[in-house]
Chains A and B, each alone.
Chain A
Amino acid sequence: MTVAAARPLLEVQGLVKHFPIYEGLMFSRRVGAVQAVDDVSFSIQAGETLGLVGESGCGKSTTGRLILRLIPPTAGSIRYDGVDLQALEPEAMRLKRRDLQIIFQDPYGSLNPRMRVEDIITEPLVIFGEKPGPALTKRARDLLETVGLASFHAKRYPHEFSGGQRQRIGIARALASHPKFIVCDEAVSALDVSIQAQVVNLLQDLQDEFKLTYLFIAHDLGVVKHISDRVAVMYLGKIVEVADKRTLYRQPLHPYTQALLSAIPVPKPRARRARMVLKGDVPSPINPPTGCRFHTRCPYAKEVCREIEPPRIAIATGHEVACHLVKAG
């Protein structure tokens, strides 16, 4: 293996996103900020799927959008294939979007109601210089078949499809420009469980076929376990634990990860297991707790957790945890 091949496809360093909050009708002033994403770092190897999990509002989707520069970050760097995306001119970034795609959570809102499915799918190709015509129409039809729809669906409008079908259109659209990296932002959360499985399998088949790299954002640990190679757990804008799938599910070290995993329903009604139920709500990201952000709900919290923020340390190869209670070695 050469050095270049070992370099991760995507490398996120110290990513921060604070949404300012303004108050006052006439003379608004900044009164604070929602710390949606706070010092997030991770990397994804080519061909790998990184699962990003956490509760609603923990900053997962914001992270996904920051990576694609759909919203500007407050700080931090995003390197894709060695290129700092932050430093790119808008036009250069626009051209990069060919390689970086996203599948959105809401299959209803994310498709333009005024466009036919084939136009939705071929539009990225046309703007990247391909000539509209029969060849392109055929591509759209092939893509529809790839995602399990029929080619005669191409002439229809989004409102004529069900949620699951629309999500497939969203996937076909994301695949159209032959991207290398796709952010799946809660791509299956809005779907029925039976459809979820189909779409997840579809994503895996497509990954094998087109050598795709995924950042798979979800709140459902079961789905993430199925598709991911590695999993990162987010809590209140921070990544608290990263490990390869097997290690994380077998031996979670961070108390929050343990709580999340114990909440997964098990299809054995008589199975006895220790449930770890978290008390209270997620604190406000406007005024996050000091020290470890999880200390307000952590059953093992100590004095040090309230005061000092735990650094993320490597426990084993590829297993990193940010907790005072977990010691290296």
Chain B
Amino acid sequence: MGRYILQRLIQAVPILALVSLISFSIMQLVPGDAATLIGGPSATPAELQAIRENLGLDKPFHVQLLKFYAGALQGDLGRSLLLGKPVLEATIERLPVTISISIYAMILTLFFGILAGVIAALRQNTWVDQTVMTFALLGVSIPNFWLGLMMIVLFAVHLGWLPSGGYIPWQTDLWGWFRTTTLAAVSLAVLQMGLLARITRSTMLEVLRQDYIRTAKAKGLPKHLIVGKHAMANVMIPVVTIIGIILSVLISGSVVIEAIFSIPGVGSLLGNAILRRDYPMIQGGLLFVAGSLMLMNIVVDVLYVYLDPRVRYDRGK
């Protein structure tokens, strides 16, 4: 198993290099320039040139790229043009915000998504099933930014139950964190919930038709054990695959959602960097996000071994 993880980590390096090559190239092709943004409208051409030289923006493309790689290998992702501090530091500073909201959204997704899917499957073709699946379809169809805005209108503006935005760290005030992050987490989670509910339902229906479920019934198992033990254990296998996908969608969704709820997380950091052409920040931030997603997918693949005894990574050759 250790060898497998090491293998996967080594494989991740060229992929990450490719990710930054692509983002680097796109950035070069886009018109507009960080120097004009930093210098402001009153800056003279000489001043702009000085800023460019200072930041290395005047160097050829491949020099900039190689310099970036060299830095990245040493754990230096460059220095943000606008914030004036290292990209890695700026990202790590905001990481707890995004991670805590993502975990919150993930818990909501898993709990309600799987619950809804299982209930719908057990009550297949009844009004319960149809109601749950209608909501699931609605969840999948509603864009999360629109849902976020509508929830602000309802819960913050009209009802005044929750604040419309901002962020209170859980370390200082757990209840405050809960109040400020709930709307964001819900708008992130709803789409995934719908997706997960639909997948859980169809997987559960398939598993319940399996012969070993009939065996469990013949053994004399009570229904809650047949569903909760024999069926769920097998339902979880495809569900874990989906969780890997959900994680990546949560991260990309956080760019928009953090902007809507004015949450100072990695998502809004990246969003602002893109709007203001903070190249090093975009570069470094993207690399960081891509790296953490790959890491999480490795974790998911390792989880398979524990979920499905038929999966073995080390043996078999």
**Which of the candidate stretches B74-82, B102-110, B215-223, B289-297 sits at the interface with the other chain?**
B215-223
Known A-B contacts A70-B214, A109-B210, A127-B225; A114 and B308 likewise in contact (beta carbons under 8 Å): yes
Q: Does chain A have a CB within 8 A of B45? A: no
* Cβ distance A184 to chain B, nearest Cβ, rounded Å: 13
Asked whether B218 lies within 8 Å of A101 as measured between CB atoms, the reply is yes
Which B231-279 residues have C-beta < 8 A from chain A? 233-234
Partner of B222, one of A68, A94, A110: A94
Q: Does chain A have a CB within 8 A of B94? A: no
Asked whether B220 lies within 8 Å of A106 as measured between CB atoms, the reply is no
Asked whether B212 lies within 8 Å of A109 as measured between CB atoms, the reply is yes
Inside 8 A of B216's CB, which chain A residues have their CB?
Answer: 112
Known A-B contacts A70-B217, A112-B234, A127-B219; A106 and B310 likewise in contact (beta carbons under 8 Å): no
Residue of A nearest to B211 (CB): A109
B274-317: CB near A (< 8 Å → 1, else 0) gives 00000000000000000000000000000000011110000000
Partner of A177, one of B220, B222, B225, B307: B220
Q: Does chain B have a CB within 8 A of A102? A: yes
Inside 8 A of B211's CB, which chain A residues have their CB?
Answer: 104, 106, 109-110
Q: Does chain B have a CB within 8 A of A180? A: no
Known A-B contacts A111-B212, A112-B230, A127-B225; A70 and B309 likewise in contact (beta carbons under 8 Å): no
Inside 8 A of A170's CB, which chain B residues have their CB?
Answer: 215
Q: Does chain B have a CB within 8 A of A17? A: no
Asked whether A159 lies within 8 Å of B309 as measured between CB atoms, the reply is yes
Inside 8 A of A159's CB, which chain B residues have their CB?
Answer: 309-310
Which A101-121 residues have C-beta < 8 A from chain B? 101-102, 104, 106, 109-116
A101 and B221 alpha carbons, distance in the complex (Å): 12
* Cβ distance A154 to chain B, nearest Cβ, rounded Å: 14
* Cβ distance A26 to chain B, nearest Cβ, rounded Å: 13
Inside 8 A of A102's CB, which chain B residues have their CB?
Answer: 218
Asked whether B220 lies within 8 Å of A95 as measured between CB atoms, the reply is yes
Q: Does chain B have a CB within 8 A of A297? A: no
Known A-B contacts A112-B230, A124-B219; A104 and B214 likewise in contact (beta carbons under 8 Å): yes
Residue of B nearest to A174 (CB): B218
A170 and B215 alpha carbons, distance in the complex (Å): 9
Q: How large is the interface on A (under 10, 10 to 19, 20 to 34, 35 or more residues)?
A: 20 to 34
Asked whether A112 lies within 8 Å of B220 as measured between CB atoms, the reply is no
Asked whether A113 lies within 8 Å of B215 as measured between CB atoms, the reply is no
Asked whether B225 lies within 8 Å of A114 as measured between CB atoms, the reply is no
Inside 8 A of B310's CB, which chain A residues have their CB?
Answer: 113, 157, 159
Partner of A97, one of B210, B219, B307, B308: B219
A234 and B49 alpha carbons, distance in the complex (Å): 95
Q: Does chain B have a CB within 8 A of A98? A: yes
A82 and B214 alpha carbons, distance in the complex (Å): 26
Partner of A110, one of B214, B221, B307, B309: B214
B residues in contact (CB < 8 Å) with A = 210-212, 214-222, 225, 230, 233-234, 307-310
Known: A104-B211, A111-B215, A112-B215; 8 extra A-B contacts, CB below 8 A, are: A70-B217, A101-B218, A110-B211, A113-B212, A127-B219, A127-B221, A128-B220, A157-B309
Mind listing 30 A-B residue pairs with CB under 8 Å?
A: A68-B218, A70-B214, A70-B217, A94-B221, A94-B222, A97-B218, A98-B220, A101-B218, A102-B218, A104-B215, A106-B211, A109-B210, A109-B211, A109-B212, A110-B214, A111-B212, A112-B212, A112-B230, A112-B233, A114-B307, A114-B308, A114-B309, A116-B309, A123-B219, A124-B219, A124-B220, A127-B222, A157-B309, A170-B215, A173-B219
